[in-house]
Amino acid sequence: MQPVLTLQNTFPMLNIVIFGPPGSGKGTQSDKIIEKYGLIHLSTGDLLRAEIAGETELGLKAKNIMEKGALVPDEVVIGMIKNRIDANIGSNGFIFDGFPRTVEQAEALDNLLSEWNLKINLMISLTVERQELITRLLKRGKEQGRTDDNLETIENRIKVYEDQTTPVMAFYTSQGKAQTVDGIGTIDEIFDRIVEVIK
């Protein structure tokens, strides 16, 4: 029988989910992973903030939800991710940052990738304790003026993470893909730990 030539074995892609609570350093470490491995960064938070800045209909709806620290509806973020995956097939791979945030999103991501014969290869979970998260996010709020980096919204984002997002860890653990990385230390120390896990 002839082997079937698929996109995946023509262009092997490395697809990583970077996971962790708000303030755990997902965005910072994503930048370094992209630089080293040439992956495409798909951050639903960044995509949503771009919609808000562009004053699109989607952005106007997302703004209030994000200011409360709640989750934007699954179908909205899944639609945004689908567009970006379909537009970047054939790249070195993707790093998903801030997505999936619910088990429904994780299942949808597997389905979107399987249409291209692709899968998630690895999930990296950054661990940082609660008080350190709050300290980092309050600092970022002062420095960068993100409107969701105030104490009330931060506390709600952490609660939403605990209630709705932590089950995503079990989802990838059951697939044998979850790896935990200590998120305390310098940016370079944490990145070195991540590189060891990717190797």
Tokens of 13: 């892609």
101 part of the interface to ligand ADP, by CB under 6 A: yes
Question: Which runs of consecutive H residues, i.e. helices, occur in the chain?
Answer: 7-10, 26-37, 44-53, 57-68, 74-87, 103-114, 130-144, 151-160, 167-174, 187-198
Residue corresponding to tokens 């509806």 = 73
Indicate if 26 belongs to the active site.
yes
Choose between 12 and 167: whose C-beta lies nearer to ligand ADP: 167
109 is a contact residue toward ligand ADP (CB under 6 A): no
CA of residue 29 relative to chain centroid, distance: 11
Up-side HSE of residue 66: CA atoms within 13 Å toward CB? 22
Q: Which of 82, 84, 146, 177 is catalytic?
A: 146
157 is catalytic: yes
> Which residue in the set 18, 22, 51, 128 belongs to the binding site for ligand ADP (CB under 6 A)?
22
Q: Residue from 29, 30, 44, 125 that binds ligand ADP (CB under 6 A)?
A: 44
**Residues near ligand ADP (CB under 6 A):** 22-23, 44-45, 48, 65-66, 69-72, 77, 98-99, 101, 105, 148, 157
| Catalytic annotation, residues | 26, 101, 140, 146, 157
